[in-house]
Amino acid sequence: PSSDEPRQLLPVKVSRSLEQALEKLNISSEDKKLESSCTGEEAARVRAGTTCKNAACKAIYQGPESNTEVCTFHPGVPVFHEGMKYWSCCGIKTTDFSAFMEQPGCSRGCHCWTEKKDKKAALCRQDWHQTSSQVVVTVYAKNPLPALSSVKANRTVLEAHVIFEGNKIFRAELELWGTIDVEKSFVSMVPAKVEITLCKASPGSWARLELPQSKLQ
């Protein structure tokens, strides 16, 4: 399979303990707004397949025509309080995490294809293990923020984009050693780490996780 195949977002499972940890963190700063605009210069360097970085927007950059689309996003921050989940900008409350993640944006603007300047790049410890049918990649990031993070994959590439406590961001793109079944793969988030479970396309042992040319950022 080609590494250029479209990448799909993997579904995310969030533990109750992480929800409680995020409540304690009180990551909401009600007055904080995220800018949605990108400069033309930044947009010019975007590659096809890049996901819009605005919260709740799932648009993928196809080419210059994508810059003319309207972006529907949340300019606020995710708030977790007493079991309720909502965005500070629109305040639509729910107890269901899946419903919160699917809430459509409340503002309209331009797509943002590059990372916001307020994030600090961070290196996180990683490891991996395997069974005959699965590969599990673990990223040790404290209190990952599910609403702002994304993990995408196609059959041969894994792309992780994890934002966690302290406004830090971890990014990795791995050319996988073997082929995976994207539809059966998923992500689990708990307070201390992010576990990415990749279902092997065919059972067997991988000699290593990735091909040598993979890049970590």
CB-CB contact of 153 with 124 (8 Å): no
In the chain, what are the domain boundaries?
8-17+117-216, 19-109
pLDDT digits (tens, 9 = 90+) for 96-123: 888 888 899 999 999 988 876 667 788 8
pLDDT in tens, 135-181: 999 999 999 999 889 999 999 999 999 999 888 899 889 999 999 99
Burial 36-67 (b: 16+ CB within 10 A, else e): bebeeeebeebeebbbbbbbbbebbbeeeebb
CA–CA separation, 43 vs 186, rounded Å?
30
Rounded to two decimals, the pTM is 0.70
What top-level class would CATH report for the domain 19-109?
A: few secondary structures
Give the residue among 152, 179, 164 at the shortest CA–CA distance from 124.
164
pLDDT score at 34:
46
Q: Which of 26-35, 39-48, 72-81, 167-176 has the lowest average pLDDT? A: 26-35
Confidence check: pLDDT of 133 > 70: yes
- CATH class in words for 8-17+117-216: mainly beta
Question: What is the number of alpha carbons within 13 Å of residue 89 lying toward its C-beta?
Answer: 19
